[in-house]
């Protein structure tokens, strides 16, 4: 999926905060982020915004694997466990898809496979094509 | 609210992506982020993660103004309008509060006062005290 | 808005559980439900499903006032206060609208104007026309 | 789980709209609802409120299997497919649990095993004990 690699490389915010694409296939994506001092909030756990951004990146990649530009409409995220060090992984999978709307579940795990957050995203599929 | 200023200054992720506290009072907060190239996603609009992070920062500040450490349980965000330049503002207000749980609405606006995203957050209030 | 009155009268589920339309205007709606024994859950407070249904009815009416058939894509509801008697009101207002997607905030209040629940709904606007 | 059967029998709203408990075990529950005319909305598909109520019932049962009274804080539901006849099933499973907060995923399926809605619920666990 060369167009996905290219698409992912253009994401400047992901780059800025150290998010990397691990793999992508139709309707799926996996990303990771090694926790650094820049990801911490005022109580020295990983900022909700950093966890969200990792999951959102995996969501965007999975939603764009079909080749249409897809944009997020709505996301619901639950924060299950605070974390301060190690590496976070986000795994996105497609739950449903129709011509206009697609939905994805994203799980955020740490390197011990503990669930850190769950994220449900709904995307609007535009007609403009990526590849 | 000196303890809030101090609390906000310790947020390294907010610093990393250019989020600034504008003002805070009991149950309320306002933050801003000037859009730069680092905030953009692969289609050159502001990344959902950056918009979320700005709103989440205002949410955290508002939730901590009472002096207890509060942590996010759940957030729902709707993305209403794509944006590529200018300045974003997030305004948090308390919707309800009881000894354990508090909820907040956060509106993200651009400098033309157009609504970019709405964010509803629920926080768990710990007994540990900030100030 | 005669077509809205007609539309509302066809809602059999609303009828079954005692939901009534109070008023509707473009992008807005208000509904009510007098709490009865049939609305209670196992701990004798109003069932989350009954509160949701009241809010969802107001959401559907508000979303259909423009005359297009609109269907719910996603809803987020926060339950703020348990209630066992009296009358509940749901007030829906439009937050944003574009040709395909519209979003609404719905507040559920009791007769003392206490906030019982907040509900955010996103609808997909079909081309099929009601009126 | 006799106390769960008893708990479920006291749910008057579930009874009113024809929701039945199929099975429950620690952290899990399954419920069903045969679609009747009373469940339909103005466009003759099953009302979002009826789908939500079925899922919410399974959520409540699963959350109460541990024996503490648990109350819903927040729910996010995505409606994936409209349905007008047949039988709906809701399957709840626990995603995470700690002394105060527990989260559940609920899938609503029809009798052809098609996904109709997904529901994520967060509950607050009280100290009061059911059994």
Q: Which of B73, B75, B96, B104 to mutate to test the interface with D (most CBs of D within 10 A)?
A: B73
- The pLDDT assigned to B29 comes to 98
At residue C58, φ and ψ (nearest 5 deg) are -60, -40
**Please, which pLDDT band fits residue C127 given cuts at 50, 70 and 90?**
confident
Kindly determine whether residue D81 and residue A95, on different chains, have CB atoms separated by under 8 Å.
no
- The pLDDT assigned to A131 comes to 66
Residue C131 has pLDDT above 80, yes or no: no
Distance from CA of A123 to the nearest CA of C (A): 11
Q: Across B35-67, where does the E strand assignment appear?
A: none
CB contacts of B123 in chain D (<8 Å) are none
Nearest residue in A to D107, CA atom = A95
- The pLDDT assigned to B128 comes to 76
Give the number of C-alpha atoms closer than 13 A to the C-alpha of residue B69, restricted to the C-beta side: 10
Q: Does A101 touch chain C (CB under 8 A)?
A: yes
Among D123, D116, D43, D103, smallest CA distance to D77 is for D116
Q: Does D73 touch chain A (CB under 8 A)?
A: no
Model pLDDT for residues C84-123, shown as the tens digit of each residue: 999 999 999 999 999 999 999 999 999 999 999 999 999 9
Q: Which two tokens stand for residue B33?
A: 């982020």
Among C40, B92, B37, smallest CA distance to A15 is for B37
* Calpha distance C81→D73 (Å, rounded): 9
- The pLDDT assigned to B111 comes to 98
Q: Per residue of chain B (131 residues), what is the pLDDT tens digit? A: 788 999 999 999 999 999 999 999 999 999 999 999 999 999 999 999 999 999 999 999 999 999 889 999 999 999 999 999 999 999 999 999 999 999 999 999 999 999 999 999 999 999 877 76
Q: Which two tokens stand for residue C39?
A: 């609305």
Average per-residue pLDDT for chain B: 95
CATH architecture, domain C2-129: Roll (3.10)
Q: Measured between CB atoms, which of B15, B72, B76 is closest to A48?
A: B72
Strand C115-129 and strand B19-25: the pairing is unpaired
Q: Which of C71, C72, C73, C95 to mutate to test the interface with A (most CBs of A within 10 A)?
A: C73
Q: Does A123 touch chain C (CB under 8 A)?
A: no
The CA-atom distances, in angstroms, between C111 and each of B43, B113, C58, C87, C89 are: 48, 34, 17, 6, 8
Average pLDDT for runs of 10 along chain A of length 131: 88 97 97 98 96 98 93 97 98 96 98 98 88 66
Kindly determine whether residue D13 and residue C57, on different chains, have CB atoms separated by under 8 Å.
no
Q: Does C92 touch chain D (CB under 8 A)?
A: no
Residue C130 has pLDDT above 80, yes or no: no
Distance from CA of B64 to the nearest CA of C (A): 19
Model pLDDT for residues D4-48, shown as the tens digit of each residue: 999 999 999 999 999 999 999 999 999 999 999 999 999 999 999
Task: Specify the higher pLDDT residue, C62 or C1.
Answer: C62
Sign of the C-alpha dihedral, residues D43, D44, D45, D46? positive
* Calpha distance C102→C98 (Å, rounded): 6
Query: ipTM > 0.85?
Result: yes
Q: Does D62 touch chain A (CB under 8 A)?
A: no
Which one-letter DSSP state was computed for residue A73?
E
- The pLDDT assigned to D68 comes to 86
Q: Which residues pair with B96 in a beta bridge?
A: B103
Chains that touch D (3 or more CB pairs under 8 A): A, B, C
* Calpha distance C107→C95 (Å, rounded): 13
**Please, which pLDDT band fits residue D131 given cuts at 50, 70 and 90?**
low
Model pLDDT for residues D80-113, shown as the tens digit of each residue: 999 999 999 999 999 999 999 999 999 999 999 9
Kindly determine whether residue D81 and residue A96, on different chains, have CB atoms separated by under 8 Å.
yes
Distance from CA of D3 to the nearest CA of C (A): 12
Distance from CA of C122 to the nearest CA of D (A): 10
* Calpha distance B10→B55 (Å, rounded): 17
Q: Which two tokens stand for residue C98?
A: 């574009």
- The pLDDT assigned to B105 comes to 98
CB contacts of A74 in chain C (<8 Å) are 73-74, 76, 122
Instruction: Answer for the pair C127, C57: CB distance below 8 angstroms, yes or no.
Output: no
Element (H, E) at A56: helix A48-64
Q: How far is CA C98 from the centre of its chain?
A: 21
* Calpha distance B120→A85 (Å, rounded): 27
Q: Does A124 touch chain C (CB under 8 A)?
A: yes
- The pLDDT assigned to B68 comes to 86
- The pLDDT assigned to C129 comes to 75
Give the number of C-alpha atoms closer than 13 A to the C-alpha of residue D9, restricted to the C-beta side: 6
Distance from CA of D25 to the nearest CA of A (A): 22
Q: Does B95 touch chain C (CB under 8 A)?
A: yes
The answer for residues whose C-beta is within 8 angstroms of residue C26's C-beta and 6 or more apart is C65, C66
Among A18, A17, A99, A14, smallest CA distance to A59 is for A14
Kindly determine whether residue A101 and residue C76, on different chains, have CB atoms separated by under 8 Å.
no
Nearest residue in D to A75, CA atom = D76
From the number of C-beta atoms within 10 Å of its C-beta (0-12, 13-18, 19+), residue D38 rates as middle
Model pLDDT for residues C28-51, shown as the tens digit of each residue: 999 999 999 999 999 999 999 999
- The pLDDT assigned to C128 comes to 76
Q: How many CB pairs under 8 A join A and C?
A: 19
Domain ranges of chain C: 2-129
- The pLDDT assigned to B41 comes to 95
């Amino acid at each position: 999926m060369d167009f996905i690699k290219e698409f992912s490389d253009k994401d400047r915010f992901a780059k800025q905060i150290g998010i990397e694409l691990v793999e992508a296939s139709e309707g799926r994506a996996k990303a990771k982020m090694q926790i650094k001092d820049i990801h911490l909030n005022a109580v020295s756990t990983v900022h909700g915004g950093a966890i969200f951004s990792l999951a959102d990146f995996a969501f965007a990649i999975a939603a764009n694997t079909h080749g249409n530009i897809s944009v997020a409409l709505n996301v619901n995220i639950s924060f299950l466990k605070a974390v301060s060090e190690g590496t976070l992984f986000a795994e996105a999978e497609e739950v449903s898809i129709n011509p206009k709307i697609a939905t994805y579940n994203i799980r955020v795990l740490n390197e011990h496979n503990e669930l850190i957050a769950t994220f449900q995203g709904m995307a609007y599929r535009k007609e403009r094509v990526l590849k």
